[in-house]
Amino acid sequence: MIKNLDLFKRYLKASGAVEIARRLFVMNAFDGTLTIMGVVIGAHLSGVMDPKVVITAGVGGSVAMGISGMTGAYMAERAERMRDLKKLQLAMLIDLQSTQVAEASRLASLVVAVVDGISPAACAAVLISPFLLVPPLSLDTAFYISLAAGLAILFLLGIFLARISEEQAVRSGLRMLVVGLVTILVVSLMVSPAQI
């Protein structure tokens, strides 16, 4: 088991999958959060009174984002890595399909795909969860908790990025928070009751 774990870590390091997965995690968590914030705001401003509507729309969106992210990332990453492997085979004039290089490449494609699919779906699930508590929560309370959770996720993603880039954490978090606030404002203006 430990031997397999060490091999797994070596493959991830050799393939550069950790850096790619980290980038995709942030991008897709960001996308998932903003998308579901838009769904929640749209439902609220449209006068939706049934939390099941928000939950259903949110779950549908998060599942679709997860499947899309996972399959899209897997196919794109696999294609890129197969191309690189074929170039390496041509340069070395040997078949590398049964080597650790090929295994690392296959593992990297899978890891990147899983991270790409899970990150937006997980963030979306956090934003939808307050609506599962209606009642006893009121619909308005669930709405505000959902938006607060979305803004908190964005702030944490900013801090995570700051740790990678060795920048000031709070400033990076606030930048992401501003994006969330601008999203709330824009969606609210576009879907205000006057526009419906």
pLDDT band of 1, cuts 50, 70, 90: very low
The radius of gyration of the chain's CA atoms, rounded to the nearest angstrom, is 21
pLDDT of residue 174: 93
Q: Is the whole model's pTM more than 0.85, yes or no?
A: no
Q: How far is CA 54 from CA 18, 41, 148, 150, 180, in A?
A: 34, 10, 16, 15, 19
pLDDT of residue 138: 93
The structural domains of the chain, with segments of one domain joined by +, span 16-190
Q: What is the pLDDT of residues 129-181, one digit of tens each?
A: 999 999 999 999 999 999 999 999 999 999 998 988 888 999 999 999 999 99
Find all residues with CB under 8 Å of 25, minimum gap 6, and list them: 115, 116, 119
Q: What is the pLDDT of residues 77-116, one digit of tens each?
A: 888 878 887 887 777 777 767 777 777 778 788 888 888 8
